[in-house]
Amino acid sequence: MTTSTPTSATATPVSLLGLGPMGRALATAFLDAGHPLTVWNRTPGRTGTLSRRGAAVADGVEEAVRGGRVIVACLRDYAAVRAVLDPPPGDWTGRVLVNLGSGEPAQARSLARWADGHGIRYLDGAILSPTPAIGTPSAAVLYSGKAEVYEVVRNVVAAIGGTGGYVGADPGRAVAHEVALLDLFATSVNGLAHAFALAGAEGIAPGELAPYAAGIGGLLTEMAPRWAEQLAAGRFPGERSTVASAATALSHLVGTAAGHGLDLGALASAKRAADRLVTAGHGDDGLARLATVQHADGAEQGRQA
Ligand SMILES: NC(=O)c1ccc[n+]([C@@H]2O[C@H](COP(=O)([O-])OP(=O)(O)OC[C@H]3O[C@@H](n4cnc5c(N)ncnc54)[C@H](OP(=O)(O)O)[C@@H]3O)[C@@H](O)[C@H]2O)c1
């Protein structure tokens, strides 16, 4: 397990708004860490075993706010946070709002401005891990917003566990990490689904493809840090594989998928990026250069330090 149990001097009353799967996991982590906990959920009756474990169940949001010094929201999205907290219920003097729901970076910035406008100390956060990781060393949670607000809550949110931490003053930065990683996850999941469909169309059973598919997934672990270095340096050595070679392979892939009537959306986008680089004379560069031509207008982006 994660954190040491707080002493009575460091235990902080926490209120948790939202008892979906993630909210319940957070509630358990706060209780495990010894913080007095008040919970509230829009739909009553979702407290499970939390009240037996000592959580106070608030009848309304105002009562929940009254019960905590750190108010943690874990709701579906930013619209839900607005629906629950705008206008702010109760007295927020001496309290901090930490929002851990998902959304868009611009929505996080907008909520931070809203909080400022109401004199509420605000910290945004993004949970990058699934519920079983919460409260363990493997939980990854990022926070962004005013550094002094993070300092106020860091010992409390330590209960959530794991790696991550403060990523900067821009309140949208934590959620920006989340959407970038969701981009990788969503396109990888779609790629896996598309590969099984293509293999199936060629008469290859899922079980035959699976061991090779798992090997491809493993390649990303090595590529991510190597690409990061190359993008920061603006140098793309092509000694392992080149964009021109990838463009040719993508032609084979698009041709085969088209022959089976499969959707070509993601592949067409990948091929467009590779073709743009070949046309611009960068065919001998390594694959990391593909990250520089992902804009819809085809403009090549500069160095990403
Ligand atoms: N589950 C995960 O593994 C995971 C991982 C990373 C991040 N997250 C993020 O954590 C957040 C919570 O996720 P979740 O898994 O707990 O389930 P969820 O289905 O995304 O959210 C459920 C919670 O949101 C509340 N809610 C939704 N709309 C509302 C509204 N208009 N007003 C008030 N409350 C509203 C629900 O209340 P009711 O019960 O009344 O409907 C419930 O408390 C999401 O932003 C999700 O993306 C989840």
- Tell me the C-alpha distance between 294 and 300, whole Å: 8
Q: What atom in ligand 1 is closest to the CA of residue 101?
A: 45
Candidates 136, 153, 135; CA nearest to 144 is 153
Which of 142, 169, 196 is the endpoint of a domain?
A: 169
The CA distance from 223 to 11, in Å, is 42
| pLDDT over 60 (residue 138) | yes
- CATH for 27: 3.40.50.720
For 140-154, the three-class secondary structure string (H helix, E strand, C coil) is EEEEEECHHHHHHHH
The closest of 184, 178, 192, 253 to 223, measured between CA atoms, is 184
pLDDT in tens, 103-117: 999 999 999 999 999
In a domain, 151, yes or no: yes
Give domain status of residue 303, yes or no: no
Q: Is the pLDDT of residue 190 over 50?
A: yes
Are 18 and 161 members of one domain? yes
Q: Could you tell me if 31 and 55 are in contact, meaning their C-beta atoms sit under 8 angstroms apart?
A: yes
Residues with CB under 6 A from ligand 1: 18-23, 41-43, 46, 74-77, 80, 83-84, 101-102, 127, 130-131
CA Rg value for the chain: 23
Alpha carbon distance, N-terminus to C-terminus of the chain? 36
Q: Are residues 154 and 260 in the same domain?
A: no
Question: pLDDT at residue 6 above 70?
Answer: no
Q: Are residues 122 and 246 in the same domain?
A: no
Overall domain count for the chain = 2
In this structure, are 105 and 157 located in the same domain?
yes
Mean pLDDT of 125-139: 97
Instruction: Specify if 127 maps to a domain.
Output: yes
Contacts of 58 (CB under 8 A, 6+ apart): 15, 38, 39, 40, 64, 66, 67
**Does one domain contain both 272 and 165?**
no
**304 has pLDDT over 50:** yes
Q: Are residues 229 and 275 in the same domain?
A: yes
Q: Render 210-221 in DSSP notation, one character per residue.
A: HHHHHHHHHHHH
Whole domain around residue 229: which residue ranges? 205-293
Q: How far apart are CA 268 and CA 185, in angstroms?
A: 19
* Domain match, 163 and 247 both: no
Taking residues 164-188, what's their average pLDDT?
Answer: 96
Distance 18 CA to ligand 1 centre (A): 7
Asked whether residue 8 carries a pLDDT value surpassing 90, the answer given is: no
User: Does residue 112 fall inside a structural domain?
Assistant: yes
In a domain, 257, yes or no: yes
pLDDT for the residue numbered 7: 55
Question: What separation in angstroms does the CA of 155 have from each of 111, 136, 194, 213?
Answer: 23, 15, 44, 41
Closest protein CA for atom 22 of ligand 1: 20
Report the pLDDT value the prediction gives residue 198, as an integer from 0 to 100: 98
- Residue 215: pLDDT above 50? yes
Give one DSSP letter per residue of 222-264, joined into a string: HHHHHHHHHHHHT----SS--HHHHHHHHHHHHHHHHHTT---
Q: For residue range 43-82, what is the model confidence (pLDDT) as tens digits?
A: 999 999 999 999 999 999 999 999 999 999 999 999 999 9
Q: What's the confidence (pLDDT) of residue 303?
A: 62
Chain position carrying tokens 């406008």: 117
pLDDT at 231 over 60: yes
- 224: domain CATH number? 1.10.1040.10
Residue with tokens 């799967």: 21
Are 23 and 141 found together in one domain?
Answer: yes
